[in-house]
């Protein structure tokens, strides 16, 4: 069983590295594209391109945060995700990143729709509304999960002790 656990840990480490590489590639694309904007002048077209770059950078942050979460939770801590405390903490880290990125993408899509094609505004609004729904669902999950944590105070103490591995 230790071999299988070690294999999973190695696969998680590989996935974390791949997510980090994807993040670096997105950053490189954003830098190259951003650098190409300056010779064209800082006008409305340049402003729109910069807003789109913000979306690229948001995706890079998401990829990097997923890499960090996988590395910390699955490789360093070897955390057991079955405890309510661990599930809440793991999902909270993930949802913070995803919700922020989706909100930024919603803003980028809104700006793009306003400046390029108003028919796309419905899609942007749908993305913003879905992001709000996801945020509300996450809040309900955290609220309901808190009572499960109160039933298992030792799980909370164990989760906090695992944080020492990261310092």
Is the model's pTM score more than 0.85?
A: no
pLDDT, tens only, 149-164: 676 666 666 666 665 6
Question: How many Å apart are CA 38 and CA 40, to the nearest integer?
Answer: 5
Q: 101-120, pLDDT tens digit by residue? A: 899 889 889 988 998 889 99
Percentage of residues of the chain with pLDDT beyond 90: 31
Q: Does residue 25 surpass a pLDDT of 70?
A: yes
Q: Determine contact, residues 149/84, Cβ cutoff 8 Å.
A: yes
DSSP per position, 121-158:
HHHHHHHHHHHHHHHHHHHHHHHHHHHHHHH-HHHHHH
**In terms of residue numbers, what domain contains 45?**
2-166
When pLDDT is averaged across residues 123-139 and rounded to a whole number, the result is: 95
How many residues does this entry show for the chain? 167
Hunting for tokens 């904007």 — which residue is that? 37
How many domains are there within the chain?
1
């Amino acid at each position: 069983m230790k071999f299988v656990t070690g294999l999973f840990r190695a696969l998680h480490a590989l996935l974390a590295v791949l997510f980090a590489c994807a993040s670096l590639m997105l950053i490189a694309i954003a830098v190259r594209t951003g650098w190409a904007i300056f010779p064209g002048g800082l006008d409305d077209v340049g402003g729109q391109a910069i807003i789109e770059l913000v979306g690229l950078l948001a995706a890079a942050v998401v990829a990097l945060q997923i890499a960090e979460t996988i590395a910390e939770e699955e490789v360093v801590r070897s955390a057991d995700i079955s405890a309510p405390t661990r599930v809440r903490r793991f999902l909270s880290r993930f949802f913070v990143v995803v919700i922020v990125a989706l909100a930024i993408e919603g803003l980028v899509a809104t700006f793009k729709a306003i400046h390029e094609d108003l028919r796309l505004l419905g899609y942007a609004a749908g993305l913003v509304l879905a992001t709000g729904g996801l945020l509300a669902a996450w809040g309900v999950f955290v609220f309901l999960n808190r009572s499960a944590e109160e039933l298992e105070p030792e799980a909370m103490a164990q989760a906090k002790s695992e944080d020492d591995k990261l310092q």
